[in-house]
Structure 1
Amino acid sequence: MFFIFIGVILFIASRAISNPNLIFSKYANPLRIVAFVLFLLGLSSSVIKQVNAGEVGVQSIFGKVQNQTLTSGLNFVNPLASVTVFDTKTQNYTMSAVHDEGDKSGDDAIRVLTADGLEVVVDLTILYRILPSETPRILKEIGEDYRDKIVRPVTRTMIRDNAVYYDAVGLYSLKRNEFQGRIYADIEKNFKKRGLVLEQLLIRNINLPNSVKQTIESKINAEQDAQKMQFVLQKEKQEAERKRVEAQGIADYQKILSTGLSDKQLQYEAIIAQKELAKSPNAKVIIMGGGKSTPIILGNN
């Protein structure tokens, strides 16, 4: 529209100086050509609108929003229409206690009261996107600043409304997944009514009061000490059992030696051993003694 406006101004100026009696009349035709070129350039830029990938355009003519959306690529539009572009890709909104980490500078974490009356600080990130078919309705009913009007307040309200059903320790440990699933369902339902799709909800951190943290840490340390002592006792029991079995085995062995072996059995075992020695290539002469004497083995070495 800017080039069209400039072209019209230049065309009027060229008509004004086209009088031959004026010294500027010689510039009338060149000025008229420039005006015509600018008019065509402005007309083409107003009629053709480029929409990038992952975006849709919504036309509005004199404040009236058109229901038909412009898809990615080149689109022919009414030159009098203004086009509002919406991002339909996945977007994220972070609320964090860490400065400059969230979408708003400073401490933007969500402070909630739990069922036991304690204040818990929640850091959160949500992933969402806009339904392309709902962009005309979003422009008419909400506007372009849907992040501040819908995404942020709905998320913070749903978290506060659901936190009152849990105590602080439950939110921090056992009930965390249940809490996350509950607020996801509520936020998803509210987003859907307004043309938004909730893709994922991430509870990044839950900060408890210092007194509760100390209590939890003391309990965890006590449980770890108890588990450690139980392990030591179990190990000592196993070691005592091992020694008992070993002592019983030695006692049984000694009992067998004292009562189970006769002289004839010992003599038989000695003969077997002497026979094996005789087969050995290192044994040359075996002198057998009488009675219970030990045999003498003579060799080359």
Structure 2
Amino acid sequence: MANNQIDLNFPKGGVFLIIIAVAAIILFSKSTVTIGPGEGGVIFESLGKGINTEKSYGEGFHIVLPWNKMIIRKVRQQSISDEMNVLSVNGLEVKVNGTIWYEPEFENLGKLIKTKGEDYERELLDPAINAAARSVVGRYTPEQLYSSKRDVIEQEILDEVQNILKGQYLSVKRVLVEDVKLPTTIRTAIETKLKQEQESLEYEFRLAKAKKEAERQKIDAEGKATANKILSASLTDKILQEKGIEATLKLSESPNSKVVVIGSGKSGMPIILGNQ
């Protein structure tokens, strides 16, 4: 029985070309980076001086030398929330819950990462927020923190944070103080005081309203009295007699049966006699 032999004629150097092709594909895949929406990137030059601070890369597809690394961070507006223990002006410890909106400066992303590291929120933003909150809250009493000063405190904290971060390549847009937690006894005392003040204001309002109503009635009564006085002074006997005659004549014109006696009444006024 004859042995069938299959002669595989593989091109010389074929294995080497395959290896080169696979290596090229791997190298290409490692040299391409896609930066997503709202993100930015900076190059870390492994064989150079580290972070390249001269250029920031935006969204899209980028080719990077294989020995370099693209560091990608969010550059859109972001928020961070925290609870801080701070002291009021009289030394009382209060807890402040707040949220801050910030965003890195895209064109200075390399400088930000080079000076503060990739975790720049923890290294830069958190300390700035805490310092600003302590500085601002320390100017107010617990009652002011709990009630009427909330919007003023937010603006002052924002101003403080922006001042601290000036020139640090990180922009803070807004601060929101969501809650101020006081010890239960202090909070109860403040709420009781505010309730009493509200009741007092309501009582004063009712008194003022009653006083105005009394003044209005007094003025109205005085006006009516003056009008009656003027009217009485103008009504002479002759005028009254004429008015009586006019009224009698109008009455006599009605269809009801009656008898009119002229000059029989007091002061010569007519007397009307009828069956109605």
Same fold (TM over 0.5): yes
Listed one character per residue, the Cα deviations across residues 166-223 of structure 1 (whole Å, up to 9, x for unaligned) are 3322333454444333322221123233210011111111122223223322322222
Listed one character per residue, the Cα deviations across residues 42-89 of structure 1 (whole Å, up to 9, x for unaligned) are 233233322223221111132722232222222232122111111110
| Shift, 1:287, TM fit | 4.3
| Shift, 1:235, TM fit | 3.7
1:95-134 alignment runs, 5 A limit: 95=82, 109-134=83-108
CA distance in 2, matches of 1:227, 1:275: 63
Counterpart residue number, 2:168: 194
| Alpha-carbon distance change, 246 to 189 in structure 1, aligned in 2, over 3 angstroms | closer
Q: What TM-score, normalized by structure 2, do the two folds share?
A: 0.77
1:221-260 alignment runs, 5 A limit: 221-242=195-216, 244-245=218-219
| Alpha-carbon distance change, 238 to 140 in structure 1, aligned in 2, over 3 angstroms | closer
| Alpha-carbon distance change, 34 to 289 in structure 1, aligned in 2, over 3 angstroms | farther
Count of residues in Structure 1 that have an aligned counterpart in Structure 2: 261
Task: Give the partner amino acid of 1:41.
Answer: I
- Which of residues 69, 78, 82 is equivalent to 2:65? 78
Which structure is richer in relative contact order (CA contacts within 8 A, separation 6 or more)?
2
- 8 A contact 2:252–2:260 mirrored in 1: no
- 8 A contact 1:92–1:127 mirrored in 2: yes
| Alpha-carbon distance change, 32 to 160 in structure 1, aligned in 2, over 3 angstroms | same
Farther-moved stretch of structure 1 (209-218 vs 255-264): 255-264
CA distance in 2, matches of 1:33, 1:48: 23
- 8 A contact 2:112–2:170 mirrored in 1: no
CA distance in 2, matches of 1:245, 1:265: 30
- Which of residues 59, 62, 74 is equivalent to 2:46? 62
Task: Give the partner amino acid of 1:152.
Answer: D
Counterpart residue number, 2:25: 41
Counterpart residue number, 1:171: 145
- Which of residues 50, 53, 68 is equivalent to 2:34? 50
Identity fraction in percent: 26
Unmatched tracts of structure 2, length 5 or more: 1-7
Counterpart residue number, 1:144: 118
- 8 A contact 1:288–1:296 mirrored in 2: yes
Q: What TM-score, normalized by structure 1, do the two folds share?
A: 0.71
Listed one character per residue, the Cα deviations across residues 238-270 of structure 1 (whole Å, up to 9, x for unaligned) are 444455456556766776787764443222113
- SS of 2:117's partner is coil
